[in-house]
Structure 1
Amino acid sequence: MAAPGGAEGPAAGPAAGGALWVEVRALLPGAEEGLTLALSGEVEDCVLTLLRRARGLLYGAAGRPCGAAAAALRRLGDVLRDYSWEKLNAGPWREVSKAWRQVYAYGCLFGALAEVAAGRPLAPAVRLCDMGLLMGASVLDNVLARLVRVLQAHLPRGKRRAAAEGSAKRIRIGPPPAPVVQPEDALPHLHCPSLEHFRDNYLIPQKPVVLEGIIDHWPCMKKWSVDYFCQVAGCRTVPVELGTRYTDEEWSQKLMTVSDFINQYIVNEVFGRKYIRLYSPQDSENLYPHESQILHNTSQVDVEDPDLVKFPDFRKAAFQSCILMPGQVLFIPVKYWHYVRSLDISFSVSFWWS
């Protein structure tokens, strides 16, 4: 039978739910004592009691907690998450105890398992796993990562395809004009250099360069698109940065699904280019870094529209620039200042190494 949207979905009903539970249950220790509830620090005794009670509900049922047991497990997951959430948001993140992040992860785990055991729709269980991965700490050999992979594979394909089709109906708009890169400021380009040539001429001397042709074989060069991300990750919850730059007062972060992000913020399926400027560490003083410890590696200057009355020495700072195109790789040496502006909707991958 065809699922909504014309795509054939997984079989529904008790048999399918039972098969999924068997697959999910295999991710957990076989016996109750194997789920040790080990924490990296001290928490209140009442929290330990709630954790043990949830574990008992999970293992106490004959094979699968159903009905009242599943409902009770779900409520305990809610309580554990609510209580630990206050601890996670009580002060600076670096001061949050790992033990409370683990409690939050357990709360997400028990909540997700309760959803599956009760035969409820899987999207809320996937979100619980993602929240545990984002805000919690690893428990049971990173069981949440393994659980969410299983759950995502069982999501109805029709819903994923519907999200992708929704994004395809968007109004296309023309890309903004790209800044002009003057020849004297242009970064050098290099096509498929040998490792030795790159090492001797750019890596060791710490000189930036645009590399071409070195990732043409990557699958993402043919697969990645807005529709592709909707299909493979539309249901996943991710942190999204909202705002022009993170030093602005209106800048914020929000947790949302990939599909919601695309539906709310992406209106063009033309993507790929970035305008980039690089400044040498030797010009650090001319870039007027913020004095605060948190933003000491961030310039106060709007480099494309500088206030030269407030920042007069900025005119002394020399830069190199480029329009980075799809498939190109930019090597940025250590401690180089970099300014990036997307000219289109774009996806990029970054690597850091010493």
Structure 2
Amino acid sequence: MAAPGGVQGPVANPALWAEVRALLPAAEEGMTLALSGEVEDGILQLLRRARGLLYAQPCEAAALGRLGEILRDYSWERLNAGPWREISKAWRQVYTYGCLFAALAEVAAGRPLAPAVRLCDMGLLMGASVLDNVLARLVRVLQAQLPRAEPWAHGSVKQLQEQRLLQKVRIASAPAPLVQPEDAVPHLRCPSLERFRENYLIPGKPVVLEGITDHWPCMKKWSVDYFCQVAGCRTVPVELGSRYTDEEWSQKLMTVGDFISEYIVNENSIGYLAQHQLFDQIPELKEDIRIPDYCCLGEGEDDDITINAWFGPAGTVSPLHQDPQQNFLAQVFGRKYICLCPPQESENLYPHESQILHNTSQVDVEDPDLVKFPNFRKAALQSCVLMPGQVLFIPVQYWHYVRSLDISFSVSFWWS
């Protein structure tokens, strides 16, 4: 006789298995396994076999986990076979199904849930949505079953207390670069849509907006402790190095808790959490922010707006570069020094000649080599120190350099 929920043998958590199964179609034929492109017939056969194991009475968790691993390994090779933009969405969906089946096998077998959460995160990061974004819904159920990490779970209480004290000292005494009044980006409090459009959007002029994030829940809730508690177990990509133009710069997948322990609390080296999928991975965070009303002046819909997260220690740098869209950079906590230059000044900024870095200047803004780059002294620069609660409008193609002065979290909104 099948055990409750269709798992062979005793079920470690039948209530959880029932909640997880409720996220899926009730019957096997309802899981269509539709793909947005062509894959080998052998892969389709593996997908159907895994589906059958999932819906079998009882569910064959061990075999399901093995098939999930095979699907992930095979599709992973395809995902790394060429430039990302040339990868078929179908193979990303196969990878998602592999992560889904493997995660469900972990739950069905009653094993610890942290590996299943990581599988979901890998599918969300590298795969493509299937079954109405089932992985996002699954990971939310699984994460709710994990104990919330204490703020000091990834470091001693003393370390965290010392870090808090050090952060207070930094905020009070760390000098920010001097911004001359004639070079300062103008500040404006809650301008009307019409005023913003006529004076800044259309002419393409940067401005620091104040007061527009006062009602965002993140302004009161977010802190290093809060991220450790809400997202400590979640796997995210981290950039290692002070800036992406450095030779030693690299990327690594790690949990938010490990990132906080290694790069925020202990400050072993420079690492930065910078990615646009964080708010899709962790909806609780997305619920704490709001899309600025001024984005309605663009040509697209809310779904066309790319929301990025930027979280890291003091000292992280984004070299002088351009972005292809309008940008609102909202500062949640910490401070950032930002230097800006209009696109008309590009010839004075010495962009890299390589195609990959053509939108990035070779000049170190705060320590320019004026012998090698003499025309940089002609560049018309503006600057500001962006404080918590302030939002900087960076017009499309406007050059900008950013350095974190403190442990910092920013949210940027790219829109057209």
Q: TM-score, normalized by length of structure 1?
A: 0.89
Q: How much is the aligned-residue C-alpha RMSD, in angstroms?
A: 2.0
TM-aligned CA distance change 1:280 to 1:317, over 3 Å: same
For 1:322 and 1:85, locate their aligned partners in 2 and report how far apart those are by CA, in whole Å: 43
> Tell me, what secondary structure is at the counterpart of 2:413?
coil
For 1:167 and 1:127, locate their aligned partners in 2 and report how far apart those are by CA, in whole Å: 26
> Tell me, what secondary structure is at the counterpart of 2:97?
helix
Considering fraction of residues, name the structure with more strand. Answer: 2
The structure with more radius of gyration = 1
CA contact (8 A) 2:151 2:226 kept: no
For 1:36 and 1:93, locate their aligned partners in 2 and report how far apart those are by CA, in whole Å: 26
For 1:102 and 1:349, locate their aligned partners in 2 and report how far apart those are by CA, in whole Å: 28
Which of 344, 348, 357 does residue 286 from structure 1 map onto?
348
Which of 264, 267, 275 does residue 266 from structure 1 map onto?
264
Pair 1:56-2:118 in alignment: no
What is the CA distance between 1:163 and its match in structure 2? 2.6
What is the CA distance between 1:72 and its match in structure 2? 1.1
Pair 1:22-2:21 in alignment: no
Matches within 5 A, 1:175-214: 175=170, 176-214=174-212
Name the structure 2 match of 1:302. Answer: 364
CA contact (8 A) 2:11 2:108 kept: no
Name the structure 2 match of 1:340. Answer: 402
CA contact (8 A) 1:163 1:231 kept: no
> Tell me, what secondary structure is at the counterpart of 1:347?
strand
What is the CA distance between 1:325 and its match in structure 2? 0.5
TM-aligned CA distance change 1:261 to 1:165, over 3 Å: closer
TM-aligned CA distance change 1:80 to 1:167, over 3 Å: farther
What is the CA distance between 1:79 and its match in structure 2? 1.2
Pair 1:318-2:308 in alignment: no
CA contact (8 A) 1:167 1:226 kept: no
Q: Which amino acid is 2:13 matched to? A: G
Name the structure 2 match of 1:123. Answer: 114
For 1:273 and 1:33, locate their aligned partners in 2 and report how far apart those are by CA, in whole Å: 53
> Tell me, what secondary structure is at the counterpart of 2:212?
coil
TM-aligned CA distance change 1:310 to 1:216, over 3 Å: same
Structure 1 stretch 144-153 or stretch 273-282: which is displaced more?
144-153
Name the structure 2 match of 1:6. Answer: none
Name the structure 2 match of 1:276. Answer: 338
For 1:73 and 1:92, locate their aligned partners in 2 and report how far apart those are by CA, in whole Å: 31
Q: Which amino acid is 1:217 matched to? A: H
> Tell me, what secondary structure is at the counterpart of 1:47?
helix
For 1:58 and 1:23, locate their aligned partners in 2 and report how far apart those are by CA, in whole Å: 15
Structure 1 stretch 38-47 or stretch 119-128: which is displaced more?
38-47
CA contact (8 A) 2:154 2:261 kept: no
For 2:158 and 2:256, locate their aligned partners in 1 and report how far apart those are by CA, in whole Å: 15
Unmatched 5+ stretches in structure 2: 1-9, 268-312, 315-332
Identity of aligned residues (%): 82
> Tell me, what secondary structure is at the counterpart of 2:35?
coil
What is the CA distance between 1:217 and its match in structure 2? 1.4
CA contact (8 A) 1:167 1:227 kept: no
Pair 1:41-2:42 in alignment: no
For 1:142 and 1:44, locate their aligned partners in 2 and report how far apart those are by CA, in whole Å: 23
What is the CA distance between 1:333 and its match in structure 2? 1.4
> Tell me, what secondary structure is at the counterpart of 2:411?
coil
TM-aligned CA distance change 1:166 to 1:222, over 3 Å: farther
What is the CA distance between 1:162 and its match in structure 2? 5.5
CA contact (8 A) 2:36 2:90 kept: yes
Matches within 5 A, 1:35-114: 35-62=31-58, 65=59, 69-114=60-105
For 1:113 and 1:163, locate their aligned partners in 2 and report how far apart those are by CA, in whole Å: 27
Q: Which amino acid is 1:149 matched to? A: R
> Tell me, what secondary structure is at the counterpart of 2:361?
coil
For 1:333 and 1:161, locate their aligned partners in 2 and report how far apart those are by CA, in whole Å: 38
CA contact (8 A) 1:164 1:227 kept: no
> Tell me, what secondary structure is at the counterpart of 1:58?
helix
TM-aligned CA distance change 1:347 to 1:167, over 3 Å: farther
For 2:78 and 2:156, locate their aligned partners in 1 and report how far apart those are by CA, in whole Å: 39
Structure 1 stretch 96-105 or stretch 319-328: which is displaced more?
96-105
CA contact (8 A) 2:339 2:382 kept: yes
TM-aligned CA distance change 1:18 to 1:97, over 3 Å: same
